[in-house]
Structures are given as structure tokens and as C-alpha cells.
Amino acid sequence: MPDSPHHPDHFSRRVPDGDNRERLVCNSCGFVSYENPKVVVGSVCTWNEQILLCKRAIEPRTGYWTLPAGYLEARESTADGAAREAWEEACARIEIDALLAVYSIPRMSQVQIIYRARLISPDVAAGPESQAVGLFRWEEIPWNDLAFPSVRWALTQFDAVRDRAAFAAHGNPPGEHGE
């Protein structure tokens, strides 16, 4: 609605009083529309010694393999979001075990929260955002066809703690700033 006082056409990018960086500010009332990072939630899900991967049916990176993950919804816990994404992308019911990693990806304005989880059943199927899903043994993972660097990070960090009951959550690997 163009006549709404908060219509995007009524905003300009400037430094609001008392701030130190440019923001979107309403020209009529001074309301500041903050642009905050998106939170991505997902999990490394296993059944016995196999890891669940999803072949993307949507951009970006259609046709490449990834973990079940996606954007956190409003008023949703990160664990609930990870479980929802596993269901939506792989028709997988999971049990969250531990927080595996928190990645900072500033170039994409993302924070990724990845859990370690167990599949409740090996019965998985491609959801609407997946071309295919599969359970892969470590040596079968399609390393050259992974969709994103953070998928490789999570798998590698999962491997380092797969047999440990307790561990500190990982962050970006050394030298990987997500830029």
C-alpha cells in the first residue's frame, strides 16, 4: 500500500541520530527498519553409521548435496526449526542430540546453527525442496558435489566428535571467515 506510512518508498538509507551506521529510516516518522542477519538451522542426521544428505531442488546450488537445513521461522526454537527442516526436506523424523556448531557467514548475512541428531527411522524421502535424499557412509559422501562450504565444515566437525557424548560446539574452521 503506497500510502502506508511505512511503505518501502518512504524510507531512505541514512545514519539515524545516536547511531554510527546507515540504516533504513522512515522519512515521515523516523522509524528505523533494522536489517538483521538471517538464522539458518539444520542438522547432521545419522542412522547407524550413515549420514543423511539432501540433493537440492531449489537455488542456490540446485543439484548439489546438503544437510537438511533452512531459515528459522518467527517464534520457533532453533532445535524445533532444525527438526522441521529435516521433515520438510527429507521426510525425516529426528532426535536432536547436541549443538554441533555455530557458523558466522557475514558475506551472506547469516548465522548457521547446526545440531547433531539421530534419525528416528531410516525411512526418508525427498521433500519439495529436494531432488533426492540418501543415507551415506563416510566414504560415500559426494565431497565434490556438496552445496556449500559450511556443509563440509559440519560434516568434518561431526566426524571429529561422532563418538563423544559431550563436546564444545564448533565455530568456523580456522581461516574460514565466511567472507
Structural domain boundaries, residue 19: 1-35
Report the domain count for the chain. 2
- What is the C-alpha separation between 157 and 171, in angstroms, rounded? 9
Residue 126 has a pLDDT of 98
* pLDDT of the residue at 55: 98
Q: Are residues 47 and 118 in the same domain?
A: yes
pLDDT (0 to 100) of residue 9: 77
Contact 103, 149 (CB under 8 A): no
Q: How far apart are CA 151 and CA 159, in angstroms?
A: 12
Whether 42 and 124 map to the same domain: the answer is yes
Do 101 and 151 reside in the same domain of the chain?
yes
Host H or E run for residue 1 = none
CATH number at residue 86: 3.90.79.10
CA distances from 157 to 63, 129, 138 (A): 24, 25, 13
pLDDT at 1: 40
Any domain includes 82: yes
Q: How far apart are CA 5 and CA 10, in angstroms?
A: 7
> What confidence tens digit (pLDDT) does each residue in 92-102 have?
999 999 999 99
Asked if 19 and 70 sit in the same domain, the reply is no
- The residues of the chain scoring below 50 in pLDDT are 1-2
pLDDT of residue 119: 98
Do 14 and 97 share a domain, yes or no?
no
Judge if 21 and 48 occupy the same domain.
no
83 within some domain: yes
Q: What is the pLDDT of residue 2?
A: 46
Question: Strands, DSSP E only, in 93-173?
Answer: 94-105, 110-119, 130-137
pTM: 0.90
Distance CA 84, CA 70 (A): 9
**Quick one: 140 and 64 in the same domain?**
yes
- pLDDT the model gives residue 4: 53
In terms of domains, do 1 and 45 share one?
Answer: no
For residue 75, is it within any domain?
yes
Q: Residue 178: its pLDDT value, please?
A: 77
Cα separation values, 156 from 40, 112, 121, 140, Å: 19, 16, 24, 14
Q: What is the pLDDT of residue 104?
A: 97
Residue 130 and residue 44 in one domain: yes
Q: What is the pLDDT of residue 8?
A: 65
